[in-house]
Chains A and B, each alone.
Chain A
C-alpha cells in the first residue's frame, strides 16, 4: 500500500507537530521534466520542503521532495542520499550502506518503495541509491514509532514514493559521470496512458582503473552496479488510476588480496540483486473515501563467496516474494477518518552456507578488522517460507485542539523451515513450522497548544519475523520466533518566527527476543542461536529549521542517544556495535542572484570497538591472535566532515536553463578514522581513514 492521504490531511497540515522544513537548494521553477514537488518551493528560495507529519500517525517522519533533495550538499545529485543529512540516522562508515535508525540494527529497518519492500537502499558501499531519483517524488525517513500500516520491522523505515508521470510532452534526462551514467525518459502515449523508463550503470571501477588509482579494495569495495525503473500509468474512470511499476538493481563485487602464503590469500565475490513488479490501483469514491490495492511480486539474490586462505565463507540466499497491500480510507464525521487495510507478504527462500559458524559476523561479535575467521567449517542447505498477514485499522479524530490516531495491527506469522535438525545421510527431512501472532497497538497524539506551539507523542508495539539466514539447523536455530520492540516518542514543535522553527523530541526503543549466539561452549543441537537478547536505545533530538529569509535557509539537526544490548540473562549490558551518541548535521544555503552556495557539516561520535589488550601465538596458523578487553569499551575517533556546494544558473530562453555546480566532499580533507588495524602481534595500532577530499563538478541542461 502506498501513502493513503486522509480526508483531513490538509486541514491538519498546519497543526502537524513535527513539520520540518529543511533548507537547501530548491528552485522557484520546477525542472521541465519534473512533476510538482511534494510541497511547493517558494520563489527565489533555496528551500527543501521537509514535511514532518505528512501522515498524522507518523509523528517522527521526515519527508523530502526528490527534486530539492538532490541539490543538498553531499548528495552528489542523488536525492535518496539526503537521508544521510537528516537527524535520527547514524552515520554509516565509509564504504558501508548500513541504515542505523535511532540505535536499531540495520537488519531491523526496512526500505519501501510505494509501500513495497526492497532489500537495499544503496548500491554496495553506499555509493548510489538503488532506485533512480528521476522516478522518485519523495524520500521519507521514519526512525521509529510509525503507524499501523507498516510492520515487520522493530527498527525504522525509509520510504520512497514514485512520482506521477508528466502528461504534457515527452521528457528525458541523461546523466553521465565518472561514477556512473543514467538515462530516464517519459512520454504520454495517449491521453490516458503515460510511460517512463530509466536505467543506470556504474563504472567507477573502470574509472579507477583508467586513472591508475591506488588500489583501495582491501578497505573500500568498489562495486559494479546497475539499476532500472519502469512505470506505466493508466487513467481509468474519473478518480481512478492504475499503475504498473518495475524496479531492479544488481551489484557485483570482486576483490582479491593475493599472497605468497596460501593461508593469507583473501578473495571475495558478492552479488546482490533484486527485482520488483507491482500494480497500484487507486480509486477515490464520491463520498470522499479512497481505496488502494498494491499486489506485488519480487525476487532477491544475495550471494557472498569468500575465501580466507583455504577456508570458505559462502552464503547464498535466493528469495521469491509475493505481497499485497490494500487499504480503504473513509471519512466518518467531520475531522475523523477510519483506515482499514491489510499488509501481507510471503517470502520463500532457498539458502546455502559453507564455512565457519563465526562468519558472517553478527552484531555483538568481538572481532578485529581484517582478522580471518576460525577454520572450523560446516555446511547446510535449507529452505524457509515466512508468511505474514497483517490486517490493521487506524482511527483518526479531533477533540478540540487534540488530535488522536489510535491504531491496531495484528501480525500473523507462519514460519516454516525445511529442516529441524542437521542433515545426516538420507534421513528424511523433518521440517519445522510455527505460527505466531503479534498484537500491536499504535497511538499517535498531537496537541495544538497555540498557533505556534504543538506537542506530539507516539508509541506502539512492533515485531518482525526471524531472518531466513538464522533458521539453519547447523548455523542457527530453526525454532526462532519473532523479535519484538516497543517504541515511544514525544516532543514539541514551535515556530519562533515565521521562518524559524524548532522541534525537539525524545525517544525510547526497547528490544526483546533478539536472536544472539549461544555463549555456552557446547550449544544444543540446532540451537546455535538463542532468543535471549534484549536491548534499548533512547535519546533526544533537536531540529532547528530556517526557512528562506533573504535568500538564506538551512537546518541543524542534533541527536544525542545511547543504544545498548544484553546478550543473555544475567550478562552485563554493553554498547550496541553501531552506537553513536552524538550526531550533528548543519546544512546552510545562501542564494545570491543566480548563484547558490551551500555547506554541510557533519559530526558523529566514533563507533564502539573492543580494545585489544594482548595477544597469544597460534602455532598452527603461525599467527598472533588478539586478547580482548571489555566488550565495546572504547571508541573510534570522532568523525567530522565539511562539504560544500556552489552552483550557477544560466537561463536559456523561456523554457531552458543550464545549471553548473561544484561539490566538494570533505573539503578540509580531514582524515576520519573508520577502523582500527593492528600489526602482526597486536602491539601497534593504526587507523584506516575514510573519504579524502573529493571534488564533484557537474552541469545540467534542462530543455
Chain B
C-alpha cells in the first residue's frame, strides 16, 4: 500500500506588464471620427463625409485633410480592418480634401468589399456581425497616423436563397446616424456645469441618445437561414485634452435597452481650458459626435 501527500506551494504572481493606456487623451492632432450622410448607401451614391479632428489645444480649425477611397480588398491572411495595401498609394482613389467632402462611392464597391463576386466562382466576402459590408475611406492628417473610416454599403444579400434575399430586400431599412443628446455631468451626486470644474475633481459624465437611435434592423442569420430582427448596440468613445478618463469607451450591448452610458473624468490638477469630445457609434457604423469646452478652476 502506498499513500502520498504532495503539497505544491503555488505562488503565481503578476505576469502582465503595465503599459500606458491613455488612448482617450489627445496628445497630438488626430482624426477621431468620420460621419457619413447618408450612413448607409448603395455604390455610386453621393455621400457627405464630415471629420472630427482633435488636437491638444482643442478642435482643429479647418484641418488639412486628404481623403481617398481604398480599392484593395483585404486578403484572408490579414487580420486588420483594412488591407495593408490601403496603407500604400497603389490602391487609393482620391475622394477630396478638407474637413468635409462630398464624394461618390465607388461603383464596384459591392464586388470589391461585398458579396458580389465576378464570374469564375470566387468566394464572397463575409459580412460583419450586423450583416454589413464596408468601403474603406482613408483620411490623412499631417503629422498623424493614417485613419480609416469604413463606410457601410447597401449591397444585395449574399449566400441566401432567392426567396429569402427578396424578403430581406423588402424588410431591410438602411441605417441612419444616431443622435447624441446633450451630455450631463455630476460632481458629488450634484449636477454640475462643465464651464467650471474644480481641479482634480472626479466628474461623472452621462452620455445619452434617443431610444430610437438604437434602431432595429433585419438580419440574415446564416446558421438558421432565417431573417431575424436585431437591435443596434451603441458605443461612446471619450476623448479629452487633459485629465484622466476611467474608460476610453463605454456602451451598451444590443440586448440592453438602456439609452445612456456613463464614464468618469478626473480633471487635471492644472486649471485652464480643456476640451471633451464624444463620439457615438451604432453597431452598423452610424456616427454622431459632439464637443464640449471644459474649464478647470483652482
Residues of A within 8 A of B (CB): 31-33, 76-77, 170-179, 204, 207-208, 211, 213-214, 216, 218-220, 259-264, 310-312, 354, 356-358, 364-367, 371, 373-379, 381, 422-426, 517-528, 614-622, 624-628, 674, 677-681, 684-690, 692-703
Contacts and interface: CB of A to CB of B under 8 A. Distances in A.
Given A310-B233, A424-B159, A524-B123, A175 B6 contact: yes
B160 A425 contact: yes
B7 A356 contact: no
Contacts of B6: 77, 175-177, 696, 698-700
Contact of B12 (A220, A426, A527, A680): A220
Contact of A617 (B8, B30, B159, B235): B30
A685 B16 CA distance: 12
Interface stretch (B102-110, B147-155, B188-196, B205-213): B147-155
A451 B191 CA distance: 93
Given A261-B235, A366-B79, A425-B160, A698 B128 contact: no
B8 A177 contact: yes
Interface string B29-60: 01111100000000000000000000000000
Contact of A173 (B3, B16, B285): B3
Most buried by A among B79, B82, B139: B79
Contacts of A615: 145
Given A213-B12, A424-B161, A425-B225, 6 more contacts: A171-B2, A176-B4, A260-B247, A517-B76, A520-B75, A523-B122
Contacts of B20: 679, 684
Interface stretch (B170-178, B250-258, B265-273, B290-298): B250-258
A621 B8 contact: no
A695 B9 contact: yes
A174 B281 contact: no
Contacts of A520: 75
Given A260-B247, A310-B233, A699-B4, A207 B74 contact: no
B158 to A, nearest CB: 9
Contacts of B148: 616-620
B61 interface: no
B127 to A, nearest CB: 7
Contacts of B225: 423, 425
Given A371-B79, A526-B123, A694 B128 contact: no
Contacts of A696: 6-9
B287 to A, nearest CB: 8
Contact of B4 (A365, A686, A701): A701
B4 A626 contact: no
Interface string B80-111: 11111001000000000000000000000000
Contacts, number: 284
Nearest to B74: A521
Interface in B201-258: 222-223, 225, 233, 235, 237, 247-254
A171 B237 CA distance: 65
Contact of B117 (A356, A522, A684, A699): A522
Most buried by A among B11, B13, B76: B76
A350 to B, nearest CB: 15
A108 B80 CA distance: 28
A426 B161 contact: yes
Contacts of A33: 1-2
Contact of B8 (A172, A213, A357, A697): A697
A424 B31 CA distance: 41
Nearest to B35: A619
22 contacts: A173-B2, A176-B6, A208-B12, A211-B10, A261-B250, A310-B253, A310-B254, A425-B160, A519-B75, A522-B73, A523-B76, A525-B117, A616-B148, A618-B81, A618-B82, A620-B148, A689-B17, A693-B11, A697-B8, A698-B5, A699-B7, A700-B4
Contacts of B143: none
Nearest to B131: A377
Which interface class (under 10, 10 to 19, 20 to 34, 35 or more) fits B?
Answer: 35 or more
A442 B26 CA distance: 65
A378 B75 contact: no
Nearest to A699: B5
A496 to B, nearest CB: 38
Listed from nearest, the 6 A-B pairs whose CB atoms lie closest are A686-B17, A425-B161, A680-B23, A376-B126, A698-B6, A261-B249
A702 B164 CA distance: 71
Given A171-B1, A177-B8, A374-B80, A263 B249 contact: yes
A521 B72 contact: yes
Contact of B237 (A176, A364, A622, A700): A622
B123 A174 contact: no
A214 B11 CA distance: 10
Most buried by A among B8, B129, B159, B283: B8
Contact of B5 (A170, A176, A358, A527): A176
Most buried by A among B6, B121, B149, B251: B6
B21 A377 contact: no
B279 interface: yes
B13 A262 contact: no
B77 A679 contact: no
Given A524-B122, A622-B279, A701-B2, A204 B23 contact: no
Given A176-B4, A358-B76, A703-B1, A262 B235 contact: yes
Contact of A517 (B77, B126, B247, B248): B77
Most buried by A among B30, B126, B164, B254: B126
Contacts of B134: 620
Contacts of A425: 160-162, 164, 225
Nearest to A696: B8
B129 A377 contact: yes
A697 B4 contact: no
Most buried by B among A170, A261, A424, A678: A261
A528 B123 contact: yes
A76 B7 CA distance: 10
Contacts of B81: 374-375, 618, 620-621, 625
Contacts of B235: 261-263, 622
Contacts of A365: 77, 79
B34 to A, nearest CB: 6
A669 to B, nearest CB: 9
Contacts of A211: 10
B11 A261 contact: no
Most buried by B among A615, A617, A619: A619
A681 B147 CA distance: 12
Contact of B19 (A260, A678, A699): A678
A378 B222 CA distance: 7
A680 B10 contact: no
A369 to B, nearest CB: 11
